[in-house]
Amino acid sequence: MQGPAPGVAGPVLRPLQLPAEPGWFPPAPGWWLLALLTLLLLGWLWWQWRRRQARHWQRGAPRRLLRQLRTDPLRVQQPQRWLGELSALLRRAALQVDARCAGLQGQAWAAWLDARLGRAEFATGAGQVLLAGPYQRHSEFDADALLALCEELLQRLEQSRGGRA
C-alpha cells in the first residue's frame, strides 16, 4: 500500500459550523411562569403591607388625635366645642372595639366607659363633664385630668382590641 501520491492533497475539509447560540429572548415557558409567579407574589405582599399599614394607622389614630386636642386652642377659647370633639374621639375609639356601644347615651355610655376603664370616673368623676359639658354654656372642668383619663381609657381600649385581633 502506498500513501497518497506526492502533490495530491487529501480530501478538503471545511471547519465545523455549530448552530447559533440560543438567544436570551424569548425565554423558555418556565421562565415566563416564574416571572408571573414572582409578580403575583410581589402584588400579594404589597397588598398585605398596605392592609397592615392601614390597620396600624387606625390603631394609633385616636392617640394622635388626643395629642392634637391636648394643644388645641379650642381648649381655652371654646371649651364646649373642645369637649364635644373629645367625646367624639372617645366614641370613635370605642366603636373600633365594640360596635354595640354605638347606641349608648348618657349614663349608659358613662357606665360602658367606666367598665372599660375599671373604675367609675365617667359616671361620677372627672369624666362626667363629657356627658353634659358640650351642651352647657359654661362648664368648669380640669382639662389636664380629663386628658389623662382619656389617655388611660384609650390605652385600655387598644389593649382590649389587641387581645381580640
Burial (CB count within 10 angstroms: exposed 0-12, middle 13-18, buried 19+), residue 17: exposed
Report the distance separating Cα 153 and Cα 93, nearest Å.
Answer: 10
CB 85 within 8 A of CB 75: no
Question: In this structure, is residue 123 part of a structural domain?
Answer: yes
State the residue range of the domain holding 129: 61-164
Mean pLDDT value across the chain: 87
pLDDT in tens, the chain (165 residues): 565 566 667 888 889 999 888 888 888 899 999 999 999 999 999 999 999 888 776 777 888 888 888 888 877 788 888 999 999 999 999 998 888 998 999 999 999 999 999 999 999 888 989 988 888 888 788 889 999 999 999 999 888 776 544
Question: In this structure, is residue 67 part of a structural domain?
Answer: yes
Model pTM? 0.64
Total structural domains in the chain?
A: 1
